[in-house]
Amino acid sequence: MPIILASSFNASYKDDNGVRHPQIILDHNSFITNIKKLTPNRNRVVFVANDPYDFAVTDERANILFESLKITGLEFKEKIILDGKNKHDAKEIISNADLIFLSGGKLECQLEFFREINLLSLIDGHNGLFIGGSAGAMNLCDVVFNFPESLGDSDGKSNDEFFLKGLGLYDGIVIPHLDTNTMKYGITEDGFDTMKDFILPLSMGREFIAYADDSYILISKGTIQYFGDFYKIRDGKIIPINISS
């Protein structure tokens, strides 16, 4: 089963009013080329929810992605959203899918849903392409770094509680959405700096793999390939390990 750990699907843009719209997914770092190569059959695409009971958000994200795939030239005969409404049919939905997307969003909420439907066993021996974006990619790792993105998220937690057990399909601990121009993850209006305040301090004695939105990891036939800009974060330092030309 080929797997892609993407930072972003890059399937939408926001207009001046903050409304999201589908867009053509560009072939940065051969992203679309590899998806097309790994999906010779295009009968069914599945979008797996982040929060299985937030139907409005899931439907919006999925429908934007489905439309984006279509205008990019990746049309599938059947499009299915897997969420809390049809979770009892997860085995049949997954087993007949040629392409499966794992939504971004909330890490712990998504992990709970994955365990509820026993996703790891459902994809065992599956031949379709499996793509996780953002949180969906992070949850595919053996260890998930559930770092806070606002000061309130860190209240009352010990350092060890920021690390969760993931699905174990990739050995590294990934951090998507790295701004490679500033080497920042994000700074909130109150000055909370996730990189400086949490990621770098918690890298002491640990190693994270950070990458930009146009970058991704492809695991196929026992090999791991890195497409785009990647950085190793260890012992408080950010070091480039694979820079695209």
Question: Is 191 a domain residue?
Answer: yes
Question: Is 245 a domain residue?
Answer: no
The residue to which tokens 């909420």 are assigned: 109
Question: Is 207 a domain residue?
Answer: yes
Q: Give the three-class secondary structure for 1.
A: coil
pLDDT digits (tens, 9 = 90+) for 93-134: 999 999 999 999 999 999 999 999 999 999 988 999 999 999
Q: Report how far apart, in Å, the C-alpha atoms of 115 and of each of 13, 20, 137, 184, 195 are.
A: 31, 30, 16, 32, 29
- For residue 154, the model assigns a pLDDT of 63
- For residue 245, the model assigns a pLDDT of 41
Mean of the per-residue pLDDT values of the chain: 92
Please give the tally of structural domains in the chain. Answer: 1
- For residue 161, the model assigns a pLDDT of 83
Query: Is there a contact between 44 and 76 (Cβ–Cβ < 8 Å)?
Result: yes
Backbone angles phi, psi at 111, to 5 degrees: -60, -40
Backbone angles phi, psi at 159, to 5 degrees: -60, -40
pLDDT above 50 for 232: yes
Output the pTM of the full model. 0.93
Between β-strands 216-220 and 207-211, what pairing exists: parallel, antiparallel or unpaired?
Answer: unpaired
Give residue 167's domain range. 3-240
196: DSSP letter: I
For 140-162, letters b (16+ CB in 10 Å) and e give bbebbbbbbeeeeebeeeeeeeb
154: DSSP letter: G
pLDDT digits (tens, 9 = 90+) for 21-72: 999 999 999 999 999 999 999 999 999 999 999 999 999 999 999 999 999 9
Vertex 185: Cα angle to 138 and 196 (nearest 5) = 110
Query: Is there a contact between 4 and 228 (Cβ–Cβ < 8 Å)?
Result: no
Residue 200's CATH number: 3.40.50.880
